[in-house]
Amino acid sequence: METEKEIKIIEDLSLNAWPSHQMQIYDGWILRFSYFYTHRTNCIEQIGSSSIPLGDKLDYCEEIYEKWGTPAIYKITPLLNSSFDQKLTERGYHIAHVTEVMTMDMNDYQKTAPLYPVFVSDSISPSWLNALFDMKGTVNKIHRRIVPSMYAAIPKDIISAAVYDGDKIIGTGLCILDRDYAGIYAIHVDKDFRRRRIGDAVCRALLNAASQQGAAFAYLQVVKGNSPAKKLYESLGFQDFYTYWFRQQYHVPDGANQPAEK
């Protein structure tokens, strides 16, 4: 029961940390839509009890996402009954994305100075966002238009981090402070500057700043199979906590809008 409580906390924090372009509540479910920018911001999450029959709810959600022009996607966490995941499988949904959640007690974090100068701020600048887009290869015009407003809508205190090579940002990171947790997001390094421990420097700068502001715990999410990132986070003191995945209604054709999650 204690583990379920901790998972629920992190799931709530994650919702606060990454708003969608549009959201609507439907019988205990949140329908999130962001033009298929990421799975997390374009999925259905369960936050409360239901009264409408499951089949009717699934039909309704599929109709809504069809109008939005994207597949219906459900986030599956350990908090949900396994029968729901099975129901989606029977309905033809496939696993599209698996994410591992890692956590750390900040008392276990060995605070050290970053290897590189890291610029930290309590806001997100246009140059930071443009660098993030470039490093992620985000070229979709709709995404580049709506995502800045999604970051601006984060309702919690933030710490942004950037590493520069001259005037160019070559590393980014973001920390969302909520309750006594520090959520680590948007860790990206320019492909020409990888394997130089820039990601380590960004993470340490964020964790050091979060610690100074009273964070007692930290969490992050990493795509399953991203071994370099997993190795970095483990070296900082993060440990595996739980896994979640997304059930997606249908495959998106090549060339269509694809989620930018990495």
> Checking DSSP bridges between strand 157-165 and strand 119-121, what pairing results, if any?
antiparallel
Mean pLDDT of 61-80: 96
Task: Find out whether 52 and 27 touch, Cβ atoms under 8 Å.
Answer: yes
The reported pLDDT for the residue numbered 99 is: 98
Mean pLDDT of 53-63: 97
Q: What is the CATH architecture of 2-100+244-248? A: 3-Layer(aba) Sandwich (3.40)
User: For residues 32 and 22, what is the distance between their CA atoms, to the nearest angstrom?
Assistant: 6
Question: Is 84 in a helix, a strand, or coil?
Answer: helix
For 109-238, where are the E strands, in sequence order?
119-121, 157-165, 168-178, 181-189, 217-223
* 2-100+244-248 matches 103-240 in fold: yes
Tokens standing for residue 170: 């070559």
186: CB partners within 8 A, 6+ apart: 132, 172, 173, 174
Domain assignments of the chain as residue spans, ordered by start? 2-100+244-248, 103-240
Tokens standing for residue 261: 């999650």
- At 145-197, the pLDDT tens digits run 999 999 999 999 999 999 999 999 999 999 999 999 999 999 999 999 999 99
Smallest Cα–Cα separation from 248: which of 65, 51, 30, 47? 65
User: For residues 122 and 174, what is the distance between their CA atoms, to the nearest angstrom?
Assistant: 10
The reported pLDDT for the residue numbered 251 is: 77
User: For residues 183 and 155, what is the distance between their CA atoms, to the nearest angstrom?
Assistant: 13
The reported pLDDT for the residue numbered 259 is: 53
CATH number for the domain formed by residue range(s) 103-240: 3.40.630.30
pLDDT of residue 84 exceeding 50, the answer is yes
The reported pLDDT for the residue numbered 262 is: 38
